[in-house]
Amino acid sequence: MRVPATNAATMQKVLITQRFFDDQAIALLRAHGCEPVIAELPPGEADGNVPPSTLLQWLHGASGWIVGHARVTRALLAELPQLQVVARRSVGYERLDTMAVHELGRVATIAAGANDPTVADLTIGLMLAVGRRLAEGSSNVRRGTMSIALGTDLYRKTVGIVGFGRIGQAVAKRLRGFECRILVHSPSQDADLARAHDIEYTDLRTLLSTSDYVSLHAPLNGGTSHLLCDETLAMMKPSAYLINTARGGLIEDRHLLKALRSGTIAGAGLDVFMSESDPGYCDVTRELASLPNVVTVPHIGASTREGLARSNMVAARCVLSVLAGQPMPDGCVVADGRAVSRR
């Protein structure tokens, strides 16, 4: 990428409303004629909780925005004619109005591929943690007892993967080391992928009724919202575990809470929750976290030093590519209205 002059008067402002944006990614932006501005988020809060009025103030004069969980709406974009590119430092984009991005002549990107191994590692970790009842065992030791909570193997179990994009494939690759039988439910079926990952495609009912572990890796949209609810949870085996490192809205958390309490399923490992987008579910999240057969973590799927460093660099390169009018990193563009803006 050609490095433009970096005179302060010509540098383009790039707002970053994400924590843990590292020095290497900041240096890359500066070396290519941008001035990164890192927003001061309230302690313990993400940009999804920042009011639109504050976002507008922060984004004044910005050409690029590296965003986390803030809602990128038509109304917000309309107030920011100078903003050319919105880059997510992750892969989900359900909070981003892609139609508005396109129609208003902007570009929206994701950090495709950057956190695949990081999320896949956590997925396996949650399978092991909930299956081996690590939270219960740790609690026993802290209480001064060596009482053993008898768990179950992941070795040679049947694992169902719902959604088979990059992360689902990375999970399947890791599961081969455990000699698992892997079932996949996906909107599309690829024979080459099936051979490469030694998987079996199947319908959702068969996957749920057969699997010892069910792991969700589907995007959240109108067709997948509350995919796991009373009806589908009842299809699972009473000995099965449910893992979600994708999006909270894939599960109806109230129904999951009921299924866990009643013994409909054996347990769950959860990195994401409905309460992240709907505060009305905060009590449900707390109740899920209190159950002995549930392992919960606070949406840390992509949050390792290495994973965030990769994501930061992809997001920065996306911003630079748009501002310089150069080709984008593969798989990163989710909305591109530049042709519209040139009409």
- Residues annotated as part of the active site: 247, 276, 299
23-32 long-range contacts, Cβ below 8 Å, gap at least 24?
Answer: 24/309, 24/312, 24/313, 25/309, 25/312, 25/313, 25/315, 25/316, 28/313, 28/316, 28/317, 28/320, 29/316, 29/319, 29/320, 30/6, 31/3, 31/6, 32/1, 32/3, 32/4, 32/320, 32/324
Q: Are 274 and 250 in contact (CB under 8 A)?
A: no
Spatial CB neighbours of 166, under 8 Å, sequence gap ≥ 6: 112, 113, 116
Write the burial class of residue 331 (CB in 10 Å: 0-12 exposed, 13-18 middle, 19+ buried).
middle
**Spatial separation of the C-alpha atoms in residues 180 and 129, rounded to whole Å:** 17
What does the alpha-carbon distance between residue 111 and residue 88 come to, in Å, rounded to a whole number? 6
Q: How far apart, in whole angstroms, are the C-alpha atoms of residue 98 and residue 337?
A: 9
How far is 160 from 185, CA to CA, in rounded Å?
Answer: 8
d(C-alpha 269, C-alpha 134), whole Å: 11
Q: What is the C-alpha to C-alpha distance for residues 33 and 86, in angstroms, rounded to an integer?
A: 17
Nearest to 45 by CA among 280, 276, 307: 276
Round to whole Å and give the CA distance between 260 and 294: 8
